[in-house]
Chains A and B, each alone.
Chain A
Amino acid sequence: ILNVEQSPQSLHVQEGDSTNFTCSFPSSNFYALHWYRWETAKSPEALFVMTLNGDEKKKGRISATLNTKEGYSYLYIKGSQPEDSATYLCASSPITGGGNKLTFGTGTQLKVEL
């Protein structure tokens, strides 16, 4: 993997469904993995920053896991609500450049319907 790739590109779920997205990133020279939620006309909101292999973070109904050896991260949303509708972005940063130069994926657009 040379770039950051996210799948699926878009997702429609019903309220109450649980869902998950995938982010693949270059495993070599890895420093950190960031997840953001981006609602239309708003600023991207930082969800998680993860650095260690096996890291698992949780914020309310949203959680994320990290596998740095194989270069992937999963974002889970439990019991999706309409307010979860947004584009979810992941970004990785390499060690070179101080660890804060983010390379973004194209995002997963989530639509939660009533």
Chain B
Amino acid sequence: GAVVSQHPSWVICKSGTSVKIECRSLDFQATTMFWYRQFPKQSLMLMATSNEGSKATYEQGVEKDKFLINHASLTLSTLTVTSAHPEDSSFYICSATQGSGAYEQYFGPGTRLTVT
């Protein structure tokens, strides 16, 4: 149980275009979903927290107009990287939790984004 999928697993796009990444909880309802980013040799960094039906909360330094997050249902959250630039190339990974507080977060397998 507690499986999270992510699609696509990797994507290459041209500079200036937008890319959408989907995160789905397959066998549970996710009250909260999280989006992380990892640059080479660095740790996973939280970008934003989203609750179903409400606006996402972004971490300091993360541009909300550039990284659009939609959490339309209890099983789906999407991250859209708008007007992508080469510096947005990174590993993006989502997680989901069934509750708030000290609950396990279940992670997807991640998406490797390369912007050319």
Residue numbers of A with Cβ under 8 A of B are 4, 31-32, 34, 36, 41-44, 46, 49, 51, 89, 91, 93, 97-107
State the CA gap A41–B43 with chains docked (Å): 16
Chain A contacts for B100, CB-based, 8 A: 98-100
Q: Is the CB of B109 within 8 A of A100?
A: no
User: Secondary structure of the A side of the interface?
Assistant: loop
Least distance between B18 CB and chain A CB atoms (Å): 25
Chain B contacts for A98, CB-based, 8 A: 100-101
**23 sampled A-B residue pairs with Cβ under 8 A:** A32-B101, A34-B105, A43-B106, A43-B108, A43-B110, A46-B105, A46-B106, A89-B43, A89-B44, A97-B49, A99-B102, A100-B34, A100-B102, A100-B103, A102-B34, A102-B44, A102-B46, A102-B105, A103-B43, A103-B46, A104-B36, A104-B44, A106-B43
Q: Is the CB of B43 within 8 A of A100?
A: no
| Extra A-B contacts (18), CB below 8 Å, given A31-B102, A44-B93, A51-B102 | A4-B43, A43-B4, A43-B106, A43-B110, A44-B107, A46-B106, A49-B103, A49-B104, A99-B101, A100-B32, A100-B97, A100-B102, A101-B46, A101-B49, A102-B34, A102-B46, A105-B43, A106-B41
